[in-house]
Amino acid sequence: MNLDSFKVGNKQHASKTSYAIADTGTSLLYMTQTDYMRFQNALTRKISSWDCSYVLSDGFPCYMDVLSCNSYYSKMPDLTVTLNGNSFTIPPEGYVLSGMALEFETGCVVAVVPISDSSGMWILGDTFLRNYDTVFNYANNTISFAVNIQAP
C-alpha cells in the first residue's frame, strides 16, 4: 500500500518511505527509524517517564514500569497512518499493551518499534491490525480495512 503520511497527535509528517505492508504474522508495528524517532519524540515529550533507551540498540519497545497504563492514555497522542489516501487512527489504547501481554509482570509497552531506513517500508503488524477488521481479497489483489468495533 502507498504510505502517504503519518500524524502523531496533531503534527503531520511526510514519511521517509513510500509504502507499507500488512502482515498478520508480525506482532508489532514497525516504522522506519527516521519516522520512529518522530513518533518517539512526540511520545516522550508528553510523558517523560517512558524508557526508550533500548529501542534503537536492541529493538526492544519503549516501556514504563507502572501497574496500569490507564492513567497515561489521556496524555498520549493518537497515531494516524494515511494509506492510499485513507486515514487510519490508532488511539494510545490501541498501540500500548499492558506488560502482561508481552510476558512482563507489570508495565506499559509501546508496541511500535523501528526498522532500518534502508528497508524502505513500514510493517503493519498486529498493533495496527487489531484495531481494524481486515479483508485480504486475493482475487482482486486488494486489502480493505474497517474499524474494529471491539478495538479501543
Superfamily of domain 3-147: Acid Proteases (2.40.70.10)
- Of all residues in the chain, what percent carry a pLDDT higher than 90? 39
pLDDT at 100 over 70: no
Quote the cell numbers at residue 152. 479501543
Binning pLDDT at 50, 70 and 90, where does residue 63 land? confident
- The pLDDT tens digits of the residues spanning 82-92 come to 999 999 999 99
- Nearest residue to 61 (alpha-carbon basis) of 93, 107, 19, 13: 107
Q: Label residue 101 exposed, middle or buried (CB < 10 Å: 0-12, 13-18, 19+).
A: exposed
pLDDT at 101 over 60: no
Segments making up each domain of the chain, as ranges: 3-147
pTM (2 d.p.): 0.86
Q: What is the mean pLDDT of residues 93-113?
A: 75
Binning pLDDT at 50, 70 and 90, where does residue 132 land? very high
Question: What pLDDT is attached to residue 68?
Answer: 74
- The pLDDT tens digits of the residues spanning 37-53 come to 899 888 888 887 788 77
- Nearest residue to 95 (alpha-carbon basis) of 40, 134, 25, 35: 40
Lowest mean pLDDT: which of 16-20, 81-85, 102-106?
Answer: 102-106
